[in-house]
Structure 1
Amino acid sequence: MAGSEGAQDDGERGQLQRVLIDDVRTLAYRTQHLAHAFAEQQAMHPTDLEAMVHVMQAETDGDPLTAGRLAGALNLSSAATTSVVDRLERAGHVQRERDDIDRRRVHLRITREAMGVAGAFFGPLGQRTDAVMAQFSEAELSAVHRFLVGFSQAMEDAERAHRSAGERSSEGAPQA
C-alpha cells in the first residue's frame, strides 16, 4: 500500500525534522554559552564579541566593515556602535584603518593580537570539529552546508519580519 507507506515516511520525516530542530537549538545554546565564556574570559561585553565576529567575518569575506555597516549588523545606533568600537580598539581587538582610495572611509580590522587570543581559545574546538567533519563524505558535508545556509536564511528572514513588525507597531504608538 503506497499510500500508507507514504504516511509512515511523512511521520518518520516529521520526527527527523523535529530532531533536527532540537539539534539546531542545542547547537545555538552551546555556541552562545561558549561565546559568553570567551567574552567573560576577555572581560568583554557580549555585544563587543558580536561586533568582533562581524568584523572578522567581513574581513574573511574580503569586504571589511565600516562603523556604519557594523551599526546595521548589530542593530545599534551610531553612538552606541562608536562606543563598542572604541572599547574594542582600547582592548587591542580591532583597529580603524583608512581606505586607501577614499581617505574619509574607515574600515574596521581585527588585530593580530585578537586573532591570537581567539585562536588560543577556539583552537581546540576547531580540532574537535575537524575530527567530526572527517567522518562525513563531501556529499554529506555539502548537504549539511545547504541545510545550515537555508536554516540561517530562514532565521534572518524571521528576524527581519519581526523587526519590521515592531517598527510598524511603534509608528502607531502614542508619543509620551
Structure 2
Amino acid sequence: MSGAESARDEAVARSAEVMRDLMARAVLFQDAVARSGGLNGTDLQTVGLLMSEGPATPGELAERVGLTSGGAITAVVDRLERAGYVTRSRDERDRRRVIITARADVVLERVGPVYGRVGARWAEYLRTLTVEQIELANEVMATAAKINREEIEHLRRERSPRR
C-alpha cells in the first residue's frame, strides 16, 4: 500500500470516529437541552419538527416522529400541551380534524438561549474558516443528514408490518 493510500485509509477511519462521536454528542446534547426545558428527548424533537415543518394533525406528527401507535403520539402531545409548548385547535376546513401547533414564543423562551449560545460559538468558529472550507463542511453535513434520513426511513419500513 502506498503512503497516499495509507493516509487516505487513516483519514477515512478517523472520519468514522468523528462521525460516531458527533452523533453521540448530538443525541446527548439534545437530551440535555430537553431536560433544561422540562421535556424528554422525544418531546423536544417533536416540538422541533413542529417548529421546522409547521403544524400537523396527530397522525401526520406521528409519521414525522416515527411513532407507530396512536396512543404514543397522544401521550407526547398531551405532555407538550401541559408544558405549554403546543396548542391543539380544530381545523377550520374540517372541524373533525385536530391541528397541533408549536408555541414558538414558549420554545424560544425556554430552550432558545441554549441554542443561541451554541449558535454564537459555532459562528465564532466558522469565522476562522475559508469560504471553501465552510462549503465543504456544509456538503459533508448535508450528506450525513441525507444518509441519516434515508436510514431512518429504511429502519421504519423494516419495522412496520407488511401489508
TM-score category of the 2 structures, normalised to the smaller one = 0.7 to 0.9
Q: How does 1:16-165 map to 2 (within 5 A)?
A: 16-59=11-54, 64-76=55-67, 77-98=69-90, 104=97, 106-165=99-158
8 Å CA contact 2:50, 2:102 repeated in 1: yes
Moved over 6 A (4+): none
8 Å CA contact 1:97, 1:109 repeated in 2: no
Q: Closer, same or farther in 2 for the Cα pair 1:12/1:68, shift >3 Å?
A: same
- Mapped to 1, the partners of 2:99 and 2:83 lie a distance apart of 19
8 Å CA contact 1:95, 1:111 repeated in 2: no
Displacement of 1:99 after TM fit?
Answer: 5.1
- Unmatched 5+ stretches in structure 1: 172-176
Tell me the amino acid that sits aligned with residue 33 of structure 2: F
SS at match of 2:101: strand
Q: Which moved more, 1:9-18 or 1:140-149?
A: 9-18
8 Å CA contact 2:37, 2:111 repeated in 1: no
Q: Which moved more, 1:95-104 or 1:76-85?
A: 95-104
Select the structure of larger CA radius of gyration.
Answer: 1
- Mapped to 1, the partners of 2:159 and 2:110 lie a distance apart of 38
SS at match of 2:111: helix
8 Å CA contact 1:99, 1:107 repeated in 2: no
Tell me the amino acid that sits aligned with residue 88 of structure 2: R
Q: Closer, same or farther in 2 for the Cα pair 1:138/1:102, shift >3 Å?
A: farther
- Mapped to 1, the partners of 2:82 and 2:159 lie a distance apart of 34
Tell me the TM-score normalized by structure 2. Answer: 0.82
Higher relative contact order (CA 8 A, sep 6+): 2
Displacement of 1:48 after TM fit?
Answer: 0.8
- Mapped to 2, the partners of 1:143 and 1:66 lie a distance apart of 37
8 Å CA contact 2:57, 2:100 repeated in 1: yes
- Mapped to 1, the partners of 2:149 and 2:132 lie a distance apart of 26
Identity of aligned residues (%): 25
8 Å CA contact 2:51, 2:102 repeated in 1: yes
SS at match of 1:43: coil
- Mapped to 1, the partners of 2:88 and 2:3 lie a distance apart of 58
Displacement of 1:88 after TM fit?
Answer: 0.6
